Amino acid sequence: MRQKQYCDFDGDLSTPRQRSIRINGFSTCLRLEEIYWKIIEALADRESMTVGKLLSRWAVEMDLACDVIRNFTGYVRVVCVV
């Protein structure tokens, strides 16, 4: 049998977690897998801002995008991967 090539990771990283956050003054909840929260926290730390402020920035950028994006959570996942 072959060694694990793509699924050799801590399973907790794929566990969804819901967080209440404030985006541009509005309270909301986002449900993302733990790996995405870790990426968001690292990016926020790198930018010297809170997770809420970073996500607020992304929400504004999404609103200003030329394409219509209807799913903010999906948008957040793509930003994390890119």
Mean pLDDT across 43-67: 91
The H-assigned helical ranges of 28-69 are: 34-46, 51-64
As a whole-number percent, the residues of the chain with pLDDT over 90 amount to 60
Give residue 1's pLDDT: 52
Give residue 7's pLDDT: 77
* Prediction pTM value: 0.84
Token pair listed for 55: 């996500």
Give residue 51's pLDDT: 95
How many helices and strands in the chain, by DSSP H and E? 3, 2
Tell me which residue has tokens 């790996």. 35
Mean pLDDT across 75-82: 93
* Mean model confidence pLDDT for the chain: 89
For the stretch 17-23, contacts whose Cβ atoms lie closer than 8 Å and that sit 24 or more positions apart, written own/partner, are 19/51, 21/51, 21/52, 21/55, 22/52, 22/56, 23/52, 23/55, 23/56, 23/59
